[in-house]
Structure 1
Amino acid sequence: MAHSMTAFSRQDSDTAAGSLQIELRSVNQRYLEPHFRLPEALRDLEPMFREALRNRLARGKVECTLRFEPTGNEAALSVDRRRLAALATALGEVRESVPEATMPDALSLLDHPGVLDRRGPDMAAVKQEALALFQAALDDLVAGRAREGEKLAALIRERLIAVNAQVAEVHRLMPHILERQRVQLLERMEAIRAELEPQRLEAELVLLAQKADVDEELDRLTTHVAEVARQLGQPGPVGRRLDFLMQELNREANTLSSKSVVAATTRCAVELKVLIEQMREQIQNIE
């Protein structure tokens, strides 16, 4: 099943510690290329996020943005009274020993290590919530890439039908092509009969016949179309195989064009190249 490399997912969660929001955006890229924007307090989640992406995705540029808004504007504050009493006792001893020493004010006492307890959110719990939220966003992203991939596959299948129609048209034109080839051979033979030896003349006729023979190109076009259709139904990443098959289809269309001896064949070859290019553009977005 073909998956697109283009998708978006956003997930939100309200926890006891605050609100979490995560966004995942993916676009086409030759390899898997993740980028992360995380709060500093949650920065150590990046390796786990990166590993999860690597396990689920093969290609694409993926941008991950995580936001965390703690509940309330300030962390809860409380004074450790025992610590403050011990500090006051120590300051009293300093005052007795060094009367001229300047004593600290209240704010300075609060800045002393251990006196003021700044109780922020439980970051361990927040990290667990963020991991679960990321997993939900990743599941949604993969599902979105699958849905988009189905749409791309449907567009490609439509063009495969059109390619087969052009191949069938060339087959239908074959009697006309062969007749035109026979006329050209006769005209060429009359033009060069007096100039060439019999052996050289025979070689020229064989060369002209080979040049107009397009059966092999038509067979390969049919084979490549069938393989593209098969790859679209295969599990796992198929984008690179499909891109290679587009190159092969284009090569056969070019050869068909170069061998054309009637205008109708040339038109079919041009239409084939247009269809192949349209498929190639869609395949650039397939994982």
Structure 2
Amino acid sequence: MTGFARTERQAGALRVRIELKSVNGRGLDMRLRLAPGLDAVEIPLRQLLSKALSRGSINLVATLDRGGAAGTVRVNQQALSAVLSAIEQLRAQEPMAISRPEAILALPGVLESGDGAGEHDEEVLTALVLDCAAEAVERLQAARLQEGAQIAAVLLAQVDAIARLVADAEAHPSRSRAAVETRLREQLAALSQDLAIPPDRLAQEALLLATKADIQEELDRLRAHIAAARKLIAEGGPAGRRLDFLAQEFNREANTLCSKSNAVELSAIGLDLKAVIDQLREQIQNIE
């Protein structure tokens, strides 16, 4: 879910620049840094981002250049006339030195900054910023889609590895009743060579142990999760949350398989399965 985009828009003396950066995140975390005068567009920008993106830590920086208007000033003639009139009235009452022009201009309200606030309609500025941000979001999505295509190949390879391990576990000879009976007979022989157990009782115990250690249900669910994961990856689109849930279910079944294992080789397969599932979960955190 990483990506970067930069766009610019200009209307007259106004120039807007939007920079978007995305890094991995479990949810959608938006951080906006807006230039002075753009506070009114914060909520529309957040709405735009939330509609287009569902996961990731998003940083948006919006800068505004007002061109030459930002460095100009103008005289408020109405305020200046009022100040001069007041000065004349004071001089008529009491003789005083003529006020210096810079002192008059320094009075509040006489000079106004040409910041463009009255020259550019607020709606025009808002539309300019949102249009610029929309293009930045499109470019960011394109970058994230390119990364997603690469991660999808990795995810499919990991799902294939899980499928191979599931097949190995299902075909392992230690799951048969005959294998369980053989191990049970060897264990009993090691305990006491003189201990005599009827063959039918031995067969019953072997069947009971084989039933408790049966992992067919876990294998069936793992195959169902494999099919669901492949379908989600093939469909594309925002699938990170659903794949994250499937990874948790993968891990749950792998833990049960290891706990039921009645052979060292089968336990090793279960541990390999858990290792691949952990790798899968790490990669899933990188997709939307």
Fold match by TM threshold 0.5: yes
CA deviation profile, 1:208-236 (whole Å, cap 9, x unmatched): 11244232222121111111122334566
Which among 2, 6, 18 is matched to residue 2 of structure 2?
6
CA contact (8 A) 1:17 1:126 kept: no
Instruction: Say yes or no: does 1:16 pair with 2:33.
Output: no
Counterpart secondary structure, 1:207:
helix
CA contact (8 A) 1:22 1:67 kept: yes
What is the alpha-carbon root mean square deviation over aligned residues? 3.1
Letter in 2 for 1:157: L
**Offset, 1:154:** 1.9
CA contact (8 A) 1:254 1:269 kept: yes
CA deviation profile, 1:127-177 (whole Å, cap 9, x unmatched): 432221111111222232233222222211111111111222233333x65
Counterpart mapping for 1:66-105 below 5 A:
66-72=62-68, 75-79=71-75, 84=80, 87-100=83-96, 103-105=98-100
CA contact (8 A) 1:7 1:141 kept: yes
Letter in 1 for 2:170: H
Counterpart mapping for 1:137-176 below 5 A:
137-174=136-173
Letter in 2 for 1:147: Q
Counterpart secondary structure, 1:41:
coil
Letter in 2 for 1:119: G
Give the corresponding residue for 1:256.
257
- Please, which runs of 5 or more residues in structure 1 have no aligned partner? none
CA contact (8 A) 1:231 1:242 kept: yes
Letter in 1 for 2:45: F
CA contact (8 A) 1:79 1:115 kept: yes
Letter in 2 for 1:143: A
Counterpart secondary structure, 1:213:
coil
Give the corresponding residue for 2:106.
111
Residues 273 and 115 of structure 1: CA distance in aligned 2, closer, same or farther (over 3 Å) = same
CA distance in 2, matches of 1:131, 1:98: 59
**Offset, 1:280:** 0.3
Instruction: Say yes or no: does 1:50 pair with 2:51.
Output: no
CA contact (8 A) 1:81 1:115 kept: yes
Counterpart secondary structure, 2:37:
helix
The aligned length equals 281
Give the corresponding residue for 2:33.
37
**Offset, 1:15:** 4.4
- TM-score, normalising length: structure 1: 0.82
Which among 110, 120, 124 is matched to residue 115 of structure 2?
120
Provide the identity percentage. 35
**Offset, 1:267:** 3.0
**Offset, 1:35:** 1.1
**Offset, 1:203:** 6.2
Letter in 1 for 2:141: V
CA distance in 1, matches of 2:265, 2:197: 32
Give the corresponding residue for 1:182.
181
Greater RCO, 1 or 2 (C-alpha within 8 Å, sep 6+): 1
- Please, which runs of 5 or more residues in structure 2 have no aligned partner? none
CA contact (8 A) 1:9 1:23 kept: yes
Instruction: Say yes or no: does 1:210 pair with 2:211.
Output: yes
Give the corresponding residue for 1:221.
222
Greater displacement, 84-93 / 57-66: 84-93
CA contact (8 A) 2:181 2:203 kept: no
Residues 262 and 198 of structure 1: CA distance in aligned 2, closer, same or farther (over 3 Å) = closer
Residues 163 and 83 of structure 1: CA distance in aligned 2, closer, same or farther (over 3 Å) = closer
